[in-house]
Amino acid sequence: MELLIDTWNVLHQSGVLPPESAGIGHTGLCRMIENSRWKGHKVALICDGTPSHELSGGVRYQTIFTGPFKSADEEIMERVARSSAPRSILVVTSDREIIAAISKRGAKHMGSSSFLQALVEDSYKPKRKNVHRPTGLSPELAQEWREQFGIDERVMEELQNTPMPIVQKTEPTKKESMKKEIQPKTKPKEERNVQRNEPALPADILEEARRLMRD
């Protein structure tokens, strides 16, 4: 996803940033984004006028100054209008004119105060260790799936923070336990002790067998 940030609009929101982060400026804003849920995304900071000094926020950060003849609002709307994939753009602004224009193209938007609040919340979250999971999806195909199923950054965040269910071993019911307890036990077969010199057959049967053999 690509972020187009109405920089002046964001930096002049009051009552959102904590005192220690007040007046963060361009560089501080880039630093907060780099430590947020948008880390790794392409970011364009659209600014009015011309730069008073050289600015650098990182390899994925582009700062555009619109000069004396174009406003930052116009630059944002034109970029969304020219984009071949406007649904992959998130515009950060509270300007109603910009929101109305980019919504017609299907681009997403986020209010400046909400964006700053999300940056503050992410700065207090413990950093998770990144685990590389191989995937067969290219970035283009993954983006197509996100658009098709309506999966945005908020949904991805909720999925990542949802714990896996704990599967517990089912205990036997009271009825099953009682059935097991009252089940009759098999009576062991009694063994008859045979003395060493005791004949294995009764005497009358042995006598009849001897008689038949003599006949």
pLDDT digits 0-9 by tens, 97-144: 999 999 999 999 999 999 999 999 998 877 665 555 555 556 667 777
84-93, 98-107, 115-124, 169-178 — which is least confidently predicted? 169-178
Of the two residues 49 and 187, the one the predictor is more confident about is: 49
Q: Percent of the chain, pLDDT > 90?
A: 39
pLDDT for the residue numbered 161: 65
What pLDDT, on a 0 to 100 scale, did the predictor assign at position 195?
Answer: 54
Q: What pLDDT score does 70 carry? A: 94
Quote the pLDDT of residue 12.
Answer: 87
The encoded tokens of residue 70 equal 């174009």
Domain segments of the chain as ranges: 2-126+146-158
For residue 200, the model assigns a pLDDT of 55
Higher confidence at residue 24 or residue 78?
78
At 174, the amino acid letter reads K
Looking at the predicted structure, is the pLDDT value of residue 14 above 70?
Answer: yes
User: Given pLDDT bands bounded at 50, 70 and 90, which one contains residue 185?
Assistant: low
CA 109 → CA 25, 87, 105, 113, 141, distances in Å? 22, 10, 11, 12, 22
Q: Is the pLDDT of residue 49 over 70?
A: yes
Q: State the Cα–Cα distance between residues 38 and 89, nearest whole angstrom.
A: 12
Give CA torsion, residues 94, 30, 89, 74, to 10 deg: 50
Q: How many helices (H) and strands (E) does the chain have?
A: 9, 5
> Can you tell me the distance from the alpha carbon of 61 to that of 42, in angstroms, rounded to the nearest whole number?
6
Tell me the average pLDDT across 81-110.
96
| Amino acid identity for residue 206 in this structure | L
Q: Nearest to residue 2, comparing CAs of 55, 49, 64? A: 64
Determine whether domain 2-126+146-158 maps to CATH 3.40.50: yes
